[in-house]
Each structure stands twice: as C-alpha cells, then as structure tokens.
Copies of this chain bind each other. A is one copy, B any other.
Amino acid sequence: MSPVLNEFMKKCIKVIEVELENAVQKLNTPERLKEAMLYSLQAGGKRLRPVLLMATLKAFNKEKKMGLSAACALEMIHTYSLIHDDLPSMDDDDLRRGKPTNHKVFGEAFAILAGDGLLTYSFQLIAEDESISPQTRMKLISLLAKCAGPEGMVGGQAADIEGENKSLGLEQLEYIHLHKTGKLLVFSVLAGAIIAGANEEELQQYERFAVNLGLAFQIQDDILDIEGDESKIGKPVGSDADNQKSTYPSILSLDGAKAKLAEHVSLAKDALKAAGHNAEFLIGITDLVAERDH
C-alpha cells in the first residue's frame, strides 16, 4: 500500500472512531444499552465502508468531514448486522474479531436491542446533519434504507439463510453477495458521490465500480478460506468446504475464481477511469481488497 493511502486511511479511521464514540456517548438512554452498542462499534475492524465513502469524496476533491454522518450511519448499520448475524438463531458465533460476540457479553435480549438501536439511530444521524441540504439528506436516507433493507442487505441475509445446505448456482451465489455485502458497499461509494454532488453519469460509473469491488471482496474471501493463513484470517482454513458451502471456488474451481476476481478488479478500475477522476485512493483500496491476506 502506498504511504499516502496508508496515511489517508489512518486519518479516516481515527476521525470515524472518535465520531462514533461521541454519537453514542451523548445518547440519553439506559447505560447498559449504550455499553452494548459501544462494545460492538469499538470492536475494531477495517472500517472499509467509511474509508470507501471518504475516498470517494476525495476523488471529487471534497473534504472527508462532509461525509462524517453518513460514514457513522454506515458503520452503525454494518455493526448492527454483525450483532444480529452472530445470534444463536442465526450464525451462532461466540467470537468476532477475537472478542466474545455481543450476546455472549450482554445476553441475547440486549444484543437484539443494541442492533435495533444502532439501525434506528443511523437514520437519525443523517437526518440531523444540517451541513447537508434536506434534499441530499433525503436521497441518502432513501438509498441507505434501500441498500440496508429487504431489497438490500436484509434480503441478502434472508437468501443466504434459505440457501444453507443447498447447492447453489453462480447466479444464486451472486444474488446473495450482491445483496448481503454488496449493497452496503454500493451505498458507501454512492453516498460519497451524492454528497459531492455527482451527476447521473458519474453515479452510474461509481455504482459499477462499487458492485465490482463488492464481488471482488467476496471472491477473495472465498479464496482465503482455501489458501489463507489461519493465523491471519482468524478462523480455520477450509471451513467453507467442511460446511459444504457453495462458494466461487466450489462452483468455478480455484483457478476460475481467481480469474473472476481479476475480471471484477479490472471492471471496477474501468468504471473509475470512465468517470474521469483521479481516484487513486479508490484504486489503491481495490488492490488492497483483492490482495488482502485476511
């Protein structure tokens, strides 16, 4: 990674983590609910979505801080989805990023409520950001709800649960990924473009970029489950195959999955080129996503 991108990402992560903490601390709500919300928000992670949003603003020569409320909203929605996904009736995970999952610490009832609280609060953050015009806030909220709700992330999660223990085709697998993880990545990028005042043509190119980035992200995830280093990815290699999960390599072979990854990386970069911006940070992030080892 280039030192400039590294520096940029560090700054984004710092500013977003301060803002997330402030946003929750100022809530007038029972202490234990606040703790449960903060626990998962502060569990670390790559903060990929806020970074993408801010790197998109940068491609439009706009300042990070213009995207602060939308970036916090994104991270809150991503975090709520992890809390609910980890619940015993969903993926039943005890650990997340090496720490006990939310329901293991606060109990299931508070984990459900912490998720509900983060989801609801995320819309308030954008709605109350007076540095953005009401028209733009409206667009952001409508797009965020669409990307996070039944036609987006929640729909993808539902399709994923329905697809468990079934042998899926490439089309079904893509539906799941495009929705379960893809739509929120699309929002990350489009939110930056919308706040920057992008035109229709630019929005289309940035959406194309984000869709391909999201698929690349997912394919690399599947490849790491075969070729990764357990100590780096933090879970046993080969768990997808053990669980007979449909993945890109299981459908396309490992080589086929690698070719598909390269294809999506190339399509993502083409879209940025077509938009005609100097989007060096977004290009750098695309390489990071495709080449990451965890």
Q: List the interface of chain A (C-beta within 8 A of B).
A: 27-30, 32-34, 37, 80, 84, 87, 89-90, 107-110, 112-113, 115-117, 119-121, 123-124, 127-128, 134-135, 137-138, 141-142, 144-146, 148-151, 154-155, 157-159, 161-162
Contact = CB atoms under 8 A, between A and B. Distances in A.
Contacts of A120: 119, 145, 148-150, 154
Nearest to A108: B89
B123 A141 contact: yes
A73 to B, nearest CB: 10
29 contacts: A27-B150, A29-B151, A30-B155, A32-B162, A33-B154, A34-B150, A84-B112, A84-B113, A87-B108, A89-B107, A89-B108, A90-B109, A90-B112, A110-B158, A110-B161, A113-B158, A113-B161, A116-B119, A117-B154, A117-B158, A120-B145, A120-B149, A120-B154, A123-B141, A124-B149, A128-B142, A137-B138, A138-B138, A141-B141
Contacts of A145: 120-121, 123-124, 127
Contacts of A112: 84, 87, 89-90, 112
